[in-house]
Amino acid sequence: MTTLAWKNLFYDKVRLAVTLTGIVFALILIIVQFGLFLGFLDTTANVVVRSGVDLWLTAPGVPHVNGAAAFPEKRRYKALAVEGVDRVERFALQFAQWKLPTGSQESVQVTGFDLDGGMGGPWNIIAGSVEALRGDDTIIVDQLYLEKLGVKGLGDSIEINQRRARIVGLTQGIRSFTTSPYVYTSFKNSQNYTLLKEDETYFLLVKARPGVDLQKLKADLKAAIPDVDVFTNDEMRSLTQSYWLFTTGAGVTTLMGAVLGLLVGIVVVAQTIYSATVDHIREFGTLKAMGARNSYIYRIIIEQALISATMGYSLALVAGWFVAKSSETGNAAILLPPEMAVGLFFLALAMCIMASVISIRKATSIDPAMVFKS
Amino acid sequence: MQPLIELRNVTKTYGTGDSAVHALRATDLTVRAGEILLMCGPSGSGKTTLLSIMGAILSATSGSVKLLGQEIVGIKESRLPDIRLSNIGFIFQGFNLFPALTALENVEVALTLKGLSKSAARKRAQELLEQVGLADRMKHHPADLSGGQKQRVAIARALAGDPKIILADEPTAALDSQSGQLVMETLSTLARDRGRAVVIVTHDSRVLHYGTRMVHIADGRLEEQAHGVQQSNQIEHEGVTA
Ligand SMILES: Nc1ncnc2c1ncn2[C@@H]1O[C@H](COP(=O)(O)OP(=O)(O)OP(=O)(O)O)[C@@H](O)[C@H]1O
Ligand SMILES: [Mg+2]
């Protein structure tokens, strides 16, 4: 590092503050917009991502996980006969009416899973237990939605589709993208809540034997059971995410927000770095007159950009972490996964270096009139 | 003795076509070691243009420019920084010091450009600042120095590479009379005692007697002035020595 790069940056504290403010706000904008977008993606498909499923069997034409249709559960036996299949569990995910103690209704999504196998079950249990779902008419809800559902917590009873339901467990952070919260229960209970016939299911969840090629297994299942659709977990996730992303206004808005946040962020950083460089243009001209090579001047400019980027990034990351933290209990999730934090660092570096490279041309073509001006 | 600066038939035209400005027309000029050449002329006459060409920061449109015998017209642009670094010291009307650096660091920058190690640069910078009478101002930033002091820091910095040629554009214009005298003392000592060539653009009538030679430029044409300049060795000056 050259002395000049450091000293130029730190000599004028006001200038430095302006530069850093520009970079920090641009990065926070990107963090929030992208975090919302990632939160959106995560929220729309969290039940799929966390399901532990290898392959999903659905009725033909099911577009995504929240759009299931019932089909005969006896297909399960055909699936179990396919080489490479370890387990097949029934799974329900269906909208139902939740009656609040006040008498009004809320829509919920009943999620019925196999208590023995556990695929598609809840995570982040903070009170009660999954085992408690073995009792009749028992459910687990997320504490984010207690108020919306008009209940206080464990032990409260309400009605789902005119059937009693008692809360025996609470989770934390299982958000629903729709306005209908997830309500976990055993598959057996869910048949009652969703008015499913005794011999029907909404999904069959397949766990493959270790080391089995899932693409091959998918083809084999499809061949063995022609009247179901088969999806890998990844396919189900991306179908669900694209559905909510592209068919709802909210999804497109979030995506646009992320793209615009990125563009605005880049422009703000570019502008900030550019003006910081141009401020020192006379000094760079003087250096050239003194016999400095262009490479020396590039180095100073890029070092200044790197220092600014690193400082701006560190501040923005701290702020972003607090934003993400406080969103955990809010309405919209803002995610800041480590990959994004790392990516953001390189983005900040790239933006700062690009912006300084743009200003480099200005700095290295010296105009004698400029260095000689009084 | 070989001239340090030799210009033959140098012209400079800015722009082309209708908007072309003929800033220099067929200029011949030779500057030798020990000379203090003063350049005068009205605003816009081409003084800065000529100085920039001599200093290898502006290329001539045609003609020949030799610095210490080496032709610089037509050579690769990438070789010019090294030529400036080893041969030329610039002094500017506006000082052009680095505001974020102390006087000492300002001079050190020039020395590290020359390839000196940090400690060698520090030692040499101290010597140079002592030579221009600023031993007690080394840790000051330019903002805390007077105009005359700033210009002496700039001189110390220009001398860092031990250049044979010193080019100064209006070095005293921003200074009061006394500081101006001190700066001119320093510059003339360099020429007289160290065999350097010093070229000074000036309007300042108070400093004319420091020159050993004087040229006048009007409308891009150079004219040698026979009179009005005293030989510098006829006057005795008190002041700093380089
Ligand atoms: N980069 C440029 N592009 C176009 N014309 C220029 C440029 N630099 C200088 N000129 C023109 O060339 C002529 C000579 O300019 P120069 O700066 O050499 O004059 P000068 O004698 O130094 O003037 P001053 O005493 O005002 O500093 C002027 O007419 C000026 O307008
Ligand atoms: Mg000029």
pLDDT tens per residue across span A18-68: 989 989 998 999 899 889 888 888 888 999 999 999 999 999 999 999 889
* d(CA B223, ligand 2 centre) in Å: 17
Residue B232 clears pLDDT 60, i.e. is over it: no
Considering only CA atoms, which residue is closest to atom 26 of ligand 1? B43
> How many contacts, defined by CB atoms under 8 Å, are there between A and B?
88
- Tell me the pLDDT tens digit for each residue of A153-168: 899 999 999 999 999 9
Identify the pLDDT of residue B236.
39
Q: Mark yes or no for CB contact A296/B82 under 8 Å.
A: no
DSSP state of B241: -
Residue A368 clears pLDDT 80, i.e. is over it: no
Reported as type and span, the H/E element at residue B40 is strand B36-40
Is the beta carbon of A369 within 6 A of some atom in ligand 1?
Answer: yes
User: Quick check: pTM over 0.80?
Assistant: no
Other Cβ atoms within 10 Å of A156 Cβ, number: 15
Is residue B239 one of the residues assigned to a domain?
no
Residue A11 clears pLDDT 80, i.e. is over it: yes
Is residue B211 one of the residues assigned to a domain?
yes
Question: What's the CATH number where B194 sits?
Answer: 3.40.50.300
Identify the pLDDT of residue A168.
95
- Tell me the pLDDT tens digit for each residue of A59-116: 999 999 988 999 999 999 999 999 999 999 999 999 999 998 888 999 999 999 999 9
> In B, which residues are within 8 Å of A292 by CB distance?
81, 85, 113
Residue A301 clears pLDDT 50, i.e. is over it: yes
Quick one: average pLDDT of B59-80? 94
Identify the pLDDT of residue B241.
41
Tallying the residues shown for chain A, one arrives at: 374
Ligand 1 atom with the smallest distance to the CA of B24 is 14
Q: Looking at the complex, does the CB of residue A8 fall below 8 Å from at least one CB of chain B?
A: yes
Identify the pLDDT of residue B205.
85
Backbone phi and psi for residue B19, each to the nearest 5 degrees, phi listed first: -90, 5
Identify the pLDDT of residue B231.
43
Distance of residue B93 Cα from the nearest chain A Cα, in angstroms: 5
Is residue B231 one of the residues assigned to a domain?
no
Is residue B237 one of the residues assigned to a domain?
no
Please enumerate, as own/partner, the contacts of A11-15 that have beta carbons within 8 Å and a separation of 24 or more.
A11/B99, A11/B100, A11/B141, A12/B100, A15/A276, A15/A279
Quick one: average pLDDT of A348-371? 78
Tell me the three-class secondary structure of chain A, residue by residue: CCHHHHHHHHHCHHHHHHHHHHHHHHHHHHHHHHHHHHHHHHHHHHHHHCCCCCEEEECCCCCCCCCCCCEECCHHHHHHCCCCEEEEEEEEEEEEEEECCCCCEEEEEEEEECCCCCCCCCCCEEEECCHHHHCCCEEEEEHHHCCCCCCCCCCCEEEECCEEEEEEEEECCCCCCCCCCEEEEEHHHHHHHCCCCCCEECEEEEEECCCCCHHHHHHHHHHHCCCCEEEEHHHHHHHHHHHHHHHCHHHHHHHHHHHHHHHHHHHHHHHHHHHHHHCCHHHHHHHHHHCCCHHHHHHHHHHHHHHHHHHHHHHHHHHHHHHHHHHCCCCCCCCCCHHHHHHHHHHHHHHHHHHHHHHHHHHHCCCHHHHHCC
Structural domain boundaries, residue B18: 3-225
Other Cβ atoms within 10 Å of B142 Cβ, number: 19
Is the beta carbon of B135 within 6 A of some atom in ligand 1?
Answer: no
Quick one: average pLDDT of A302-329? 90
- In the structure, what pLDDT confidence band is assigned to residue A317 with cuts at 50, 70 and 90? very high
Is residue B126 one of the residues assigned to a domain?
yes
Is residue B216 one of the residues assigned to a domain?
yes
Chosen for mutation from B67, B97, B109 (greatest number of chain A CBs closer than 10 Å) is B109
CB-CB contact of B21 with B15 (8 Å): yes
Considering only CA atoms, which residue is closest to atom 17 of ligand 1? B48
* d(CA A284, ligand 2 centre) in Å: 19
Is residue B230 one of the residues assigned to a domain?
no
Q: Which residue did the predictor score with more confidence, B223 or B226?
A: B223
Average pLDDT, rounded, for chain A: 90
- Ligand number nearest CA of B16 is 1
Quick one: average pLDDT of B69-83? 93
Is residue B18 one of the residues assigned to a domain?
yes
Ligand 1 atom with the smallest distance to the CA of B46 is 18
Quick one: average pLDDT of A213-233? 94
- In the structure, what pLDDT confidence band is assigned to residue B240 with cuts at 50, 70 and 90? very low
Identify the pLDDT of residue B238.
37
Number of domains chain B is built from: 1
Is the beta carbon of B45 within 6 A of some atom in ligand 1?
Answer: yes
Q: Which of B39, B48, B59 to mutate to test the pocket of ligand 1 (most atoms within 8 A of CB)?
A: B48
Identify the pLDDT of residue B186.
87
Chosen for mutation from A16, A290, A296, A370 (greatest number of chain B CBs closer than 10 Å) is A290
Of A264, A293, A361, the closest CA to residue A31 belongs to A264
- Tell me the pLDDT tens digit for each residue of B168-208: 999 998 888 888 898 898 888 888 888 899 999 998 888 88
Is the beta carbon of B46 within 6 A of some atom in ligand 1?
Answer: yes
Identify the pLDDT of residue A231.
96
Is the beta carbon of B235 within 6 A of some atom in ligand 1?
Answer: no
Q: What gap in Å lies between CA A301 and CA A4, rounded to an integer? A: 10
Quick one: average pLDDT of B101-130? 95
CB-CB contact of B12 with B24 (8 Å): yes
- Tell me the pLDDT tens digit for each residue of B151-167: 999 999 999 888 999 99
Quick one: average pLDDT of A213-227? 93
Identify the pLDDT of residue B14.
93
Q: Looking at the complex, does the CB of residue A314 fall below 8 Å from at least one CB of chain B?
A: no
Q: Mark yes or no for CB contact A372/B173 under 8 Å.
A: no
Q: Looking at the complex, does the CB of residue A4 fall below 8 Å from at least one CB of chain B?
A: yes
Identify the pLDDT of residue A269.
84
